[in-house]
Amino acid sequence: MSGNGTSTGKRITEKLSDEALREATGKDWPQWFAVLDAWGAVSRNHTEIARHVREDHAVDGWYAQSVAVGYEQEHGLREVGQSSTGAWRTSGSKTIEATAARVIEAFADDDVRRRWLPGVDFTLRTHRPAKSVTADFKDATGATTRISVTLTVKGPEKTAVGVGHEKLRDAAEVAAYKVFWRERLTELKSLLERSGPSGG
């Protein structure tokens, strides 16, 4: 498993251990790679590989998908952060001591958003108060990407926010935006927790 300096996170083979995979599927990673090599998986697409693992080897759907992704990453068919269609995306999340209404307004309200997400051309596409936002996101280069924001209510004043950033150009952009969202969501958390439980 070689890296090329643009790694954006851990490969699934690092997150799902040989022991856990063997317990769930009867084979560890090297065994699955050998089986799929023999089947000719290197010339198949993601759907075909996952279906083969699920149907021909009686593996549960989530593990079948994981084995397929692991094989694709191992053989350079897919980078970390790249979807099965070849699209690049990243994500970030943060738990904030604030109501869901206040968190989503921090994305939807221009004035509040500029305080923690400055210098970005952000155009709302959908806005469900206290629930979700989708938006077009234009950076300094003029490239337009897409973000989706979803919330999970953890308590009256505790909300987990997740940001998915799609339509990125390459692995380097995935890596850059992974750091960007980690920093921006930390700033959002600080802003909302400093300002207290008003307005939501």
- In Å, what is the CA distance from 191 to each residue of 48, 124, 156, 163? 46, 21, 18, 17
Domain parsing of the chain, residue ranges = 12-74, 88-195
Q: Once rounded to an integer, what is the mean pLDDT over residues 163-189?
A: 87
**pLDDT reported for residue 5:** 39
Mind listing the pLDDT tens digit for each residue in 69-115?
899 888 777 766 666 555 778 888 899 999 999 999 999 999 999 99
pTM for this structure?
A: 0.58
88-195 falls under which CATH superfamily? START domain (3.30.530.20)
Per-residue HEC secondary structure of the chain comes to: CCCCCCCCCCCHHHHCCHHHHHHHHCCCHHHHHHHHHHHCHHHCCHHHHHHHHHHHCCCCHHHHHHHHHHHHHHCCCCCCCECCCCCEEEEEEEEECCCHHHHHHHHHCHHHHHHHCCCCEEEEEEEECCCEEEEEEECCCCCEEEEEEEEEEEECCEEEEEEEEEEECCHHHHHHHHHHHHHHHHHHHHHHHHHCCCCC
Is 50 exceeded by the pLDDT of residue 3? no
